[in-house]
Chains A and B, each alone.
Chain A
Amino acid sequence: MKLLLTSGGINNPSIENALLELLGKPFSECNALVVPTATYAHPHAGPRQAWKTVSGNEHRSALVGFDWKTIGILELTALPSLGEDRWLPLLRETDVLLVDGGDSAYLCHWVRESGLADVLPTLPDLVWVGVSAGSMVATPRTGMDFITWHPENGDRMLGWVDFSICPHIAEPGQPGNTMEEAEEWAAGIEGPAYAVDDQTAFKVVDGKVEIVSEGTWKLLHA
């Protein structure tokens, strides 16, 4: 699996080009599945946000508004009651997963519980595009500041990459996290920690990390 870990979606030409490189073909030849699951458990997301993302009405973090060949939904909470034979063939024909943000602990739980975590390593060409929590779930941990769902279970994530991410860096007074807040957050994180704004993404192929940005990012500690 290849990763494109964004903070605010596919929202500038550099991030869009990075996605095209990962896919190796135009959007119009790619089968896409949206994963809305993380939205359900976040206090600032919920049912309305799930609709906005899936229907392409979320303009701050575009995922759906591209010319995909096909688009469907992979609802992680539904998978255990379906059985693998219903969804695995679909996933094998899928080029890109568009994983929306929300609560990373809830998403992490369902990536494991659904069986997706076991299957993804067998799909080398599949591209995982994360937005916010959809990206943070790929890291070793998020820090407790970002956990709202069952905080007693801690902040451990899937660890597909070896660095943590503080997304949505913004100027003081703007929606998001200030660089000062990110520095405080990073003090509690072991291992590399980055702060990125919504114009920045990480492209990860075979363990090689490349930062794609038209905005601001900072390696807070290595």
Chain B
Amino acid sequence: MKLLLTSAGVKNATIQDALVDLLGKPIAESDALCIPTGSWGHNGFAGAWRFIAGQSPLNMTNLGWNSVAVLELTALPTMDKEKWVAAVQGADVLLANGGDACYIAHHMRLSGMDELVPRLDNVWVGLSAGSMVMTPRIGKDFMSWQPPSGSDETLGIVDFSIFPHVDHPDLPENTMAEAERWASELGNPAYAIDDDTAIKVVDGNVELVTEGNWRKLD
């Protein structure tokens, strides 16, 4: 699995170029599977619709894919596993919406997606919580849904945490100073990224793709 961990989707040309590079072919020839599940853990019932329908200002499903389909993680345990695994393997890209990262992680574990994803050779594009789910932990501040375990641990497919939306005008608490305080309580490396930044991960190699602002917090 190749990862493109964004804060706010494919927001600029640099992030889009990185995506096309990971796909190895044009977006118009790539089949996408979109994952709205994070939205439910953040009361994003209307946001989930905008995400799937391509009506969100945050670019994910609306980039001109060859096809878009829906993978609802909460439904997977009651679906035919052979069929949904084939759908995941047949997609060129998985587009994971934001919301609550622990909610996504919980349902990836319940469905077995947590074990399938690292073995795939397609691309995972995360948006906010859809990126944070790949990290070892998110910090208590970002939990809007309480998992049965009470823990902020996510999947740990990468070894750093992510503080998204730094300096966003509508999120006054998302400052770089707040990100530093957050990182100091994690016990692992972290990146704070703004909405013009993404983290590209291929075979464990981490590359920052940005037209904006980011900082590594150790």
Q: Which residues from B are CB-within-8-Å of A46?
A: 69, 83, 87
Minimum C-beta distance from B120 to chain A (A): 16
Does residue A156 face the partner (Cβ distance < 8 Å to B)? no
How many pairs of residues, A versus B, come closer than 8 Å at their CB atoms? 86
Does residue A172 face the partner (Cβ distance < 8 Å to B)? no
Minimum C-beta distance from A157 to chain B (A): 17
- Closest A residue to B90 by beta carbon equals A47
A51-B36 in contact (CB<8A): no
B70-A78 in contact (CB<8A): no
B75-A51 in contact (CB<8A): no
B70-A36 in contact (CB<8A): yes
Minimum C-beta distance from B98 to chain A (A): 15
Residue with the highest number of chain A CB atoms closer than 10 Å, among B40, B45, B80? B45
Taking A37-B75, A81-B107 as contacts, is the C-beta distance between A72 and B45 under 8 angstroms? yes
Taking A47-B70, A81-B103 as contacts, is the C-beta distance between A86 and B43 under 8 angstroms? yes
B68-A34 in contact (CB<8A): no
Say whether chain A's binding surface is mostly helix, strand, loop, or mixed.
Answer: helix
Minimum C-beta distance from B67 to chain A (A): 7
Q: A74 vs B68: C-alpha distance in the bound complex, in angstroms? A: 20
Q: A74 vs B46: C-alpha distance in the bound complex, in angstroms? A: 9
Contact with A along B40-77 (1 / 0, CB 8 A): 11010111110011100000000000011111101100
Q: Which residues from B are CB-within-8-Å of A71?
A: 46, 49
Q: Which of B33, B34, B37, B69 contacts A78 (CB 8 A)?
A: B37
Does residue A40 face the partner (Cβ distance < 8 Å to B)? yes
- Closest B residue to A70 by beta carbon equals B46
Does residue B78 face the partner (Cβ distance < 8 Å to A)? yes
Known: A55-B52, A82-B145, A86-B40. 6 other contacts (CB 8 A): A71-B46, A73-B45, A73-B52, A75-B36, A81-B40, A90-B43
Interface pairs (11), CB distance under 8 Å: A40-B78, A47-B70, A54-B49, A55-B54, A71-B46, A72-B48, A75-B48, A77-B74, A81-B74, A87-B45, A109-B78
